Amino acid sequence: MRNRSPQTVTVLGSTGSVGVSTLDVLARHPQQYSIYALTARDRVAELAQQCRRFSPRFAVVAGARRAQELQSLLAGEGNTEVLSGVEGLCKVASDAEVDTVMAAIIGAAGLRPTLAAVESGKKVLLANKEALVMAGPVFLRALRANGAQLLPIDSEHNAIFQCLPYPCESLENSGVEKILLTGSGGPFRTRAREDLHRVTPDEACAHPNWSMGRKISVDSATMMNKGLEFIEACFLFGARPEQIEVVVHPQSIVHSMVQYRDGSLLAQMGNPDMRTPIAHALAFPQRMDAGVPALDLIAQGRLDFKAPDFHRFPCLRLAREAIDAAGSAPTVLNAANEVAVEAFLQGRLAFTSIATAIEKVMNRAPVVELTGLETVEATDLNARELARQVIGAL
């Protein structure tokens, strides 16, 4: 990692919800940051607009046809070079001129570029939790071997990071007793359980507190998001599963907490706006303006905390089982979930069958040790195939 000014930043997934929030924060600090690359799968017109505004060196899209489309949209304007595919993504995540990589692609598609950034020793801002969940041990080995810095963007993990000493080599040596991972409980926290099978994609995507992409919104509604975050926290903070407790906090004001041996409970609070964790990680260890209004605790009035309902949200239990089983079990959980959520969003699977399908896949897939990227990708592919079979038969 270098200390260049301005810092050069690649935003992987710049057209997504986190990507757009990242550009909003970066645009507030043009002296400190210059944008090296922007990437999107398919929203080419939107990416072209971003290129006009931020003049990156590179723009990357998913395939050759979309690359041509983007090229013709940008013809005669600026000097942005258009690349495509995973090779393009890995290049802009690892180029020597890049200091910081925002990993905000959704799902397994973000694994290779995020890993490429880690292997090149970048400052990596990690929003793409699926990449860490599916490849935790591989990721952590690469991190140690290449001196990269991983800063959590997920609001809960960013909160935990802020409540821990820095650096934090071991939770035990830092006097940490427990991590309290908060979650709103999603839009169906109080919906009658017998009605849940009728939930539609649009209902599932209408989160009460956060505005997010569709996949993570469904994950929040099933609470698989909290399950993935549980696993993410184990990897990021070297925590044992018994050291993490999920707490339902419907207002999403406390973003998570750390309980210390001496009775102290530290919480990070703020309005639910991803620009806060993004600005925190970008500026770390300094602080900078994020465009987020200060939290008005008096207007807020009250904060509630409850235990999670593992019967209503079986995905939470499945995630806990996956991290206990270790090895490739979290990879299988994540792959089955991605396929099931996609099927639900396309109207091919009932909301309550998402968990049923994942559990069946987990029961069928063997647990192996994750020795490298090849094992991760083979496990992922196999679990996706199993999930398609299971969903077809439900």
Annotated binding site for Mn(2+): 154, 156, 229
130 near ligand NAD, rule: CB under 6 A = yes
C-beta closer to ligand NAD: residue 140 or 394: 140
Distances (CA, A) of 351 to 63, 85, 222, 223: 32, 32, 8, 12
40 near ligand NAD, rule: CB under 6 A = yes
The single residue among 70, 82, 90, 127 that binds ligand NAD, judged by CB under 6 A, is 127
The span of 70-78, 121-129, 174-182, 242-250 binding ligand NAD (CB under 6 A) equals 121-129
234 near ligand NAD, rule: CB under 6 A = no
> 28 touches which of Mg ion, ligand NAD, none (CB within 5 to 8 A by kind)?
none
Q: Rounded to an integer, what distance in angstroms lies between the CA atom of residue 290 and that of residue 316?
A: 32
Residue 292 identity (one-letter amino acid)? V
C-beta closer to Mg ion: residue 100 or 155: 155
The span of 1-9, 98-106, 158-166, 292-300 binding ligand NAD (CB under 6 A) equals 98-106
104 near ligand NAD, rule: CB under 6 A = yes
Sign of the Cα torsion 191, 194, 195, 201 reads positive
Q: Residue length, the chain?
A: 394
From residue 19 to residue 38, the character string flagging contacts with ligand NAD as x (rule: CB under 6 A) and all else as - is: x-------------------
16 near ligand NAD, rule: CB under 6 A = yes
Q: Rounded to an integer, what distance in angstroms lies between the CA atom of residue 23 and that of residue 9?
A: 10
Q: How many residues bind ligand NAD (CB under 6 A)?
A: 25
> Which residue has the closest beta carbon to ligand NAD?
16
Residue 39 forms beta bridges with which residues?
A: 60
380 near Mg ion, rule: CB under 5 A = no
> Binding site membership: which residues?
15-18, 128-130, 154-156, 184, 207, 213, 220, 225-226, 229
171 near ligand NAD, rule: CB under 6 A = no
Q: Which two tokens stand for residue 254?
A: 């406390």
The single residue among 9, 23, 48, 109 that binds ligand NAD, judged by CB under 6 A, is 109
| Per-residue three-class SS string for the chain | CCCCCCEEEEEECCCCHHHHHHHHHHHCCCCCEEEEEEECCCCHHHHHHHHHHHCCCEEEECCHHHHHHHHHHCCCCCCCEEEEHHHHHHHHHHCCCCCEEEECCCCHHHHHHHHHHHHCCCEEEECCHHHHHHHHHHHHHHHHHHCCEEEECCHHHHHHHHHCCCCCCCCHHHCEEEEEEEECCCCCCCCCHHHHHHCCHHHHCCCCCCCCCHHHHHHHHHCHHHHHHHHHHHHHHCCCHHHEEEEECCCCCEEEEEEECCCCEEEEECCCCCHHHHHHHHHCCCCCCCCCCCCCHHHHCCCCCECCCCCCCHHHHHHHHHHHHCCCHHHHHHHHHHHHHHHHHCCCCCCCHHHHHHHHHHHHCCCCCCCCHHHHHHHHHHHHHHHHHHHHHC
C-beta closer to Mg ion: residue 248 or 361: 248
308 near ligand NAD, rule: CB under 6 A = no
From residue 136 to residue 155, the character string flagging contacts with Mg ion as x (rule: CB under 5 A) and all else as - is: ------------------xx
Residues 264-283 that bind ligand NAD (CB under 6 A): 274
> 35 touches which of Mg ion, ligand NAD, none (CB within 5 to 8 A by kind)?
none
The span of 16-24, 175-183, 192-200, 375-383 binding ligand NAD (CB under 6 A) equals 16-24
The single residue among 41, 178, 317, 320 that binds ligand NAD, judged by CB under 6 A, is 41
The single residue among 73, 178, 208, 210 that binds ligand NAD, judged by CB under 6 A, is 210
219 near Mg ion, rule: CB under 5 A = no
Q: Smallest gap, in angstroms, from Cβ of residue 156 to Mg ion?
A: 5
Binding site for Mg ion (CB under 5 A): 154-156
Residues of this chain that interact with ligand NAD (CB under 6 A) are 13-19, 40-41, 62, 104-106, 109, 127-130, 154, 210, 212-213, 215-216, 274
